[in-house]
A and B are shown apart, each in its own frame.
Chain A
Amino acid sequence: MANELIEFVLVSVALLAVGIYGLSVKRNAIRMLFAIEIIVNAANLNLIAFARFMPEAHSGGQTFALFSIAIAAAEVAVGLSLIIVAYRLYKNIDIADFRSLKG
């Protein structure tokens, strides 16, 4: 291996930090979804990195990452449709406006 495990893990930490920043600062619902995607991808990168460097895991790490990617796709579909519903109710995507469930 040309690269070491620690480098991949540090990139993953940086992505996690960027994602946390986005989640805590942004009020735009779609941007918060971007931040969630970035965090999920940082987690997947960690999974694959550790799977590569621990040969006793065989293909388990990669399989788990594949499941994780598929579940993330389902989550995005539901999240986007929730944003569409909220936009239809409030005519806005600012989460500070989403105050009541009734609309």
Chain B
Amino acid sequence: MSVVLVDAGGTNIGSVRYALQRLGVDAALTADAEAIRTADKVILPGVGAAAPGMARLRELGLLDVIRSLTQPVLGVCLGMQLLCDESEEGDTACLGLIPASVRKFEEAPERCVPHMGWNRLLPLASHPLLKQLQEGDWAYFVHSYAVPVGDYTLASSDYGVAFSAVIARGNFHGMQFHPERSARVGARLLKNFLEL
């Protein structure tokens, strides 16, 4: 099985790659359109802001490449947000693959932004990506923007407000948390993605 990590400049690429290696998969890091089109699985990692993230994909000529993919695709953190229609972060138009808008967390007492740390996953739908996930399993999040719970939410999490932790539409999937940094729960979810 060939797995590629889209090299869009995110700083967590190394960590995602190591996490896949721990599962016995050596993923290639690439920005090459053909390599991405022909891979069995495509992962779009991402850390940073939405506008530079989209700009980078545009510069690499990858917007339509990613939009045209039919194999399982996983966006992680910012990568998940880029799969949506738009982000409030810099009023950025995103890839439009999952009909959802990314919104900033409102700061409130006892609610620091960024939302940084371990939070519980609440599965809302049955999906092979969530195989063996149990209600209340912990995952590691680091983000200031989030996708509200909607039609494409597979699992939510609660930070004073409920938000989407896992989303999917067709072959496009997203995880707001960092599976590569979510211990055994994260490893399980990555394994589930590889088995889709």
| Real binding pair | no
Interface residues of B (CB under 8 A from A): none
